[in-house]
Amino acid sequence: MRLTGKLIRWNTDKAFGFITPNGSGDTIFIHKTALKNRNRTPKINDIISFSVIQDNQGRYCADQATFAGEKSHKKQTKNISTFSIYLSLIFITLVAIAYLLDYLPQKILLVYLGVSLMTFLVYAFDKSKAQRGKWRTQESTLHLLALLGGWPGAALAQQLLRHKSKKKEFRVTFWFTVVINTATLVWLMTAHGRPFLSYFS
């Protein structure tokens, strides 16, 4: 989702400034490198369309910015990872098959579906708050939901909503939760782990 706002401050020497989004929300930092047209010098009161991302320090800033009347040629789906999407869908399908073959109790399948849906909605809500400059959901909460079985929903949200899909530290921790959750599920299906499945019956 893109926002539109007015440039209220610009430092020509340091090539950065601040945008006030239309409607409500805090001012957003913008560097000249975020502009598609870097040949044009921004001026106060310029109307700019932009996306909001987090930099390496977790600060919110504008990205893929264009001046009013200009078009953004970058497609939203360009950087979508089909691997994450297919992996999530294949995993849920395999869990469903395992349930149908009596390898897993129904509650396990319902947990994955329910927590994944909840995680997807939390991601969507968090992105909405980021775009409005509001208080954010803690990353530890997102990772906990993924660890508890919501990682398929998280993976889908990261790609379909383009949220939390660029920050390297977050992505590394996320995939770590995927490995732990998947390994735990596999262990539960072994001879040593199956006794614990009775708690889900």
pLDDT digits (tens, 9 = 90+) for 100-113: 999 999 999 999 99
pLDDT digits (tens, 9 = 90+) for 37-93: 888 889 999 999 999 888 777 778 999 899 987 765 444 444 567 899 999 999 999
pTM over 0.75: no
CB 57 within 8 A of CB 29: no
Domains and CATH numbers, the chain: 3-67 (2.40.50.140), 82-200 (no CATH)
Q: Which of 95, 136, 86 is nearest to 115 (CA)?
A: 95
Q: Which of 117, 118, 135 is nearest to 126 (CA)?
A: 135
For residue 28, give Cα distances in angstroms to 46, 88, 132: 14, 33, 10
